[in-house]
A and B are shown apart, each in its own frame.
Chain A
Amino acid sequence: MAQSRYDLAILGGGPGGYVAAIRAAQLGMSVAVIEREHLGGVCLNWGCIPTKALLRSAEVMRLARHGDAFGLDIDSPRFDIAAVVGRSRKVADRLSQGVRHLLSKHSVTIINDEGQLAGPGTVRVGETLLEAGHIVLATGARPRELPEVKADERVIWTYRKAMVPETMPESVIVIGSGAIGIEFASFYRDMGAGVTVVEVVDRILPSEDEEISAIARKSFEKQGINIHTGSVVQEVTTSQEGATVRIADDAGEEHLLAAERVILAVGIVGNTENLGLEGTGVTVSGGHVAVNRWLETGEEGVFAIGDLAGPPWLAHKASHEGIIAVERIAGLDHVEPLDTGSIPGCTYCHPQIASIGLTEAAARDAGHAVRVGRFPFLGNGKAIAMGDDEGMVKTVFDADTGELLGAHMIGAEVTELIHGFAIARTLETTEAELMATIFPHPTLSEMMGESVLAAYGRALHI
């Protein structure tokens, strides 16, 4: 260990912690990142990135299977699951090495170990005590389990096992239809498995706009995914061959579902244990460390960011919080708390889903008179040329001020489009600037402009 006194000690090297470290180094701080496992955290090693690699394989597979639609003669495409997983791991490893390089470049000390708070301004790593001017807790989260369902990673998987299967199961039951559950449902379905999704709420993707949920459900069912919403898992019994899941639907009727594997995707809990929080001012509530809008915990000089500090559980939210906490520590002017209404969310299933801001229902509940625009992929030349004309771009405006309250998209590549609306929200544009924006032709982005026009009765191509 090069030194034992740092301006900033960061517990956790995920997208929150490592970005905070780089920003702190830019601001002239001496920084130590204490990471027990992999730099880049879950996101990079066991989340966002490796699943995108898997979903890319699934996409190529799906396209190959439908090669005839593009005039191609591809004879029954097959896959090698070990190679598919291997590619995903290689992608993750490459990026993790990249993070190590970035931290080294910024002279950030990397300590491969666990750390705990050990008194004011002190972090214990093994037997060593580090002094730190400030401490950022960024230890992330792990899958939540249900009281009646424990993941054994043999038959009942969490995402961690679900992204490195040794064999392709014949069938899977996905419990939970948030972003993680739906991405695995989509992956396994595209790879040929029979897929059933169980969701306790009355619709899948419950945090998305209701219309988007409905379109997604229709699309998934068309792809052959069975969906049980409003259904509570009563019991999961496992055997050598697989699992049986007993669910009760909202009418109180019980059903038995059977599959080779079960994937548990019912949210996450913060990694709040073994952080030395006992006896400090840091409080934990609902599985997360409580923070104020500046990410300060109840203990002076200790900040918490990312999944550890609560939802939304998104890497880009963690990174932004890391920057805010560090700039706050550095005493920079004009540091702004996170605008939670402008965090885009992306789900990389097929069709993709991306959104930002208020859903239509939430906007109405908040008392806004709204104008809503919708534009279907069917009306877009690029979508039709791509052979992917399923989906919609929906925009929600405040009828009085023209504020873009929310945008909700489902369809091909919408995760690459949502940033346009994120910029619009950050700049506080109104419908007028969006209408005046020239979207290039032919692109999927034209639908964003059309959706805005539609909200004001001026859509051109529908």
Chain B
Amino acid sequence: MPITVTMPQLSPTMEVGTLARWLVSEGDTVTSGDVLAEIETDKATMEVEAIDDGTVGRILVAEGTENVPVNQAIALILEEGEEALEEEPGSIEAVPLPSGPASGEADSEPEKAVVQDGPGKPASSGRKRAASPLARSMALKAGLSLDDVTGSGPGGRIIKRDIEKALKAGVPATSPAIASAWEEIRVTGMRRVIAERLQEAKQTIPHFYLSLDCDIDRLLEARREINAAGYRVSVNDFIIRALALALRDVPDANVQWGGDVIRRFAHVDLSVAVAVDGGLVTPVIRDAASRSLLDIATAMRDLADRARSGKLMPEEYQGGSFTLSNLGMYGIREFDAVINPPQAGILAVGAGYPRPVARDGALAVATLMSTTLSADHRVVDGATGAALLNAFRNFIESPTSLLL
């Protein structure tokens, strides 16, 4: 019997994945441990390894296929002595598939696999347009997004005639005259999650913003001394530690809106935004308030490295209680960040710039770092937010407290 390679479940919540890339071709000999394919989920890219020796008999899901359900067969590996599969559609049928298109069609009609989006789960999409299966099938064939179609069926359901109408009206960019005016880039799982989450945030969370400047001269001095002693600590690590301690001291800001209840977290699990190719990821420093500066520095370096290479495990970027977004390294002076749902707050941190300050009635120069808190007003009020920001500034401006 050929060995069936299935879409792995990379996290407990993963339901579908994108088959980003095949690293083997049909007919290739593989040994246990060889990387067969790369699977892309919301935020991570993972490798699928061969678990046995054999020959790649058939690739069932084409490269680039999105929304492949967990456990769906993606390839067949032939053990030694097994015949090639080309003339054996029967054995392909035997591969258990969850539902939807036959595996035999998968390689000849790769786009069919995406039909899974229809009757099955809405994949990573938070909102699903109501549409008849036929309308979905037709839209898929035509490369038409259901978002561009107005539904005229019961309750606004998109039905066949709506697709026909949209196609007649020329909604898809199939016209050669204008096709060259832009390039269409496939939306990755990460991009879709970012789009959906942040749109949801701006539409459903009543944001309000508080700004405060922090004097970081003493912090920069402390950092110089620490790094001179052979350690590697970034300004960002100080900020993580300061924000974690501030949240510990103002627990009413370390919360989440739950509709009927307010969830107040026992620990500060700080999500830290990291820019990566094609988007951003927010690895989480767990229980950051009880971790030392050096511990945070080491953990953060590791998480950021692996985030950039797409190797984070889902549990490493899910479930934070508050987010830090620092664009200081890009020279940004100040900005407002969008809350990362279901969290209730995000701190936007800009770069430190030397600025004139009035000190004891005289003009002086200090390195000021502007910070802006975006908070969910459903659960955090202005005074709570101000308390958090002030606590944060106190820690930043007395850096020795961050070393304790």
Task: Tell me the A residues contacting B by CB distance below 8 Å.
Answer: 334, 400-403, 427-430, 432-433, 435-436, 456-458
Structural contact, B102 and A428, CB atoms closer than 8 A: no
- What are 10 residue pairs bridging A and B, where the CB atoms are less than 8 Å apart in the complex? A400-B141, A401-B138, A427-B132, A428-B132, A428-B133, A428-B134, A432-B99, A432-B118, A456-B102, A458-B102
Contact check: which of B93, B137, B154, B159 meets A430 at CB < 8 Å? B137
Structural contact, B100 and A403, CB atoms closer than 8 A: no
Structural contact, B134 and A429, CB atoms closer than 8 A: yes
Q: B282: shortest Cβ distance to chain A, in Å?
A: 37
List A contacts of B99 (CB < 8 A).
Answer: 432, 435-436
Instruction: Give the docked Cα–Cα distance between A284 and B100 (Å).
Output: 50
List B contacts of A428 (CB < 8 A).
Answer: 132-135, 159-160
Instruction: Give the docked Cα–Cα distance between A114 and B119 (Å).
Output: 53
A433 touching B133 in the complex, CB below 8 Å, given contacts A401-B138, A458-B93? yes
Q: Which residue of B lies closest to A400 (CB)?
A: B141
Q: Which residue of A lies closest to B140 (CB)?
A: A401
List A contacts of B100 (CB < 8 A).
Answer: 432, 436
Q: Check B115 for interface membership: any CB of A closer than 8 A.
A: yes
List B contacts of A433 (CB < 8 A).
Answer: 119, 133
Q: Check B110 for interface membership: any CB of A closer than 8 A.
A: no
List B contacts of A427 (CB < 8 A).
Answer: 132-133
Q: B118: shortest Cβ distance to chain A, in Å?
A: 7
Q: Check B172 for interface membership: any CB of A closer than 8 A.
A: no
Q: A370: shortest Cβ distance to chain B, in Å?
A: 15
List A contacts of B251 (CB < 8 A).
Answer: none
Interface size class of B (residues with CB under 8 A): 10 to 19
Instruction: Give the docked Cα–Cα distance between A401 and B167 (Å).
Output: 14
Q: B114: shortest Cβ distance to chain A, in Å?
A: 12
Structural contact, A401 and B154, CB atoms closer than 8 A: no
> Closest 6 interchain pairs by CB?
A428-B132, A428-B134, A430-B133, A401-B137, A436-B99, A403-B134
Assuming A429-B132, A458-B102, what are 9 further A-B pairs, CB within 8 angstroms? A400-B141, A403-B134, A403-B160, A428-B132, A428-B135, A428-B160, A430-B133, A432-B133, A433-B133
Structural contact, A436 and B154, CB atoms closer than 8 A: no
Q: Check B319 for interface membership: any CB of A closer than 8 A.
A: no
List A contacts of B102 (CB < 8 A).
Answer: 456, 458
A401 touching B141 in the complex, CB below 8 Å, given contacts A428-B134, A429-B133, A429-B134? yes
Q: Check B328 for interface membership: any CB of A closer than 8 A.
A: no
List A contacts of B138 (CB < 8 A).
Answer: 401
List A contacts of B132 (CB < 8 A).
Answer: 427-429
List B contacts of A334 (CB < 8 A).
Answer: 154
Q: A98: shortest Cβ distance to chain B, in Å?
A: 30
List A contacts of B118 (CB < 8 A).
Answer: 432
List A contacts of B101 (CB < 8 A).
Answer: 432
Structural contact, A436 and B119, CB atoms closer than 8 A: yes
Which residues in chain B, 92-149, are within 8 Å of chain A measured between CB atoms? 93, 99-102, 115, 118-119, 132-135, 137-138, 141
Instruction: Give the docked Cα–Cα distance between A429 and B134 (Å).
Output: 6
Which residues in chain B, 25-47, are within 8 Å of chain A measured between CB atoms? none
Instruction: Give the docked Cα–Cα distance between A456 and B102 (Å).
Output: 9
Instruction: Give the docked Cα–Cα distance between A263 and B28 (Å).
Output: 73
Instruction: Give the docked Cα–Cα distance between A364 and B379 (Å).
Output: 63
Q: Which residue of A lies closest to B131 (CB)?
A: A428
Instruction: Give the docked Cα–Cα distance between A435 and B115 (Å).
Output: 14
Instruction: Give the docked Cα–Cα distance between A401 and B101 (Å).
Output: 13
Contact check: which of A400, A432, A458 meets B115 at CB < 8 Å? A432
Which residues in chain B, 156-184, are within 8 Å of chain A measured between CB atoms? 159-160
Structural contact, B154 and A402, CB atoms closer than 8 A: no
List A contacts of B89 (CB < 8 A).
Answer: 457
List B contacts of A401 (CB < 8 A).
Answer: 134, 137-138, 141
Instruction: Give the docked Cα–Cα distance between A427 and B118 (Å).
Output: 13
Q: Which residue of A lies closest to B139 (CB)?
A: A401
List B contacts of A436 (CB < 8 A).
Answer: 99-100, 119
Q: Which residue of A lies closest to B135 (CB)?
A: A428
Instruction: Give the docked Cα–Cα distance between A456 and B112 (Å).
Output: 14
Q: Which residue of B lies closest to A456 (CB)?
A: B102
Q: Which of B93, B101, B134, B154 has the most CB of A within 10 A?
A: B134
Instruction: Give the docked Cα–Cα distance between A457 and B89 (Å).
Output: 10
List A contacts of B154 (CB < 8 A).
Answer: 334
Q: A462: shortest Cβ distance to chain B, in Å?
A: 14
Instruction: Give the docked Cα–Cα distance between A430 and B140 (Å).
Output: 13
Instruction: Give the docked Cα–Cα distance between A293 and B135 (Å).
Output: 23
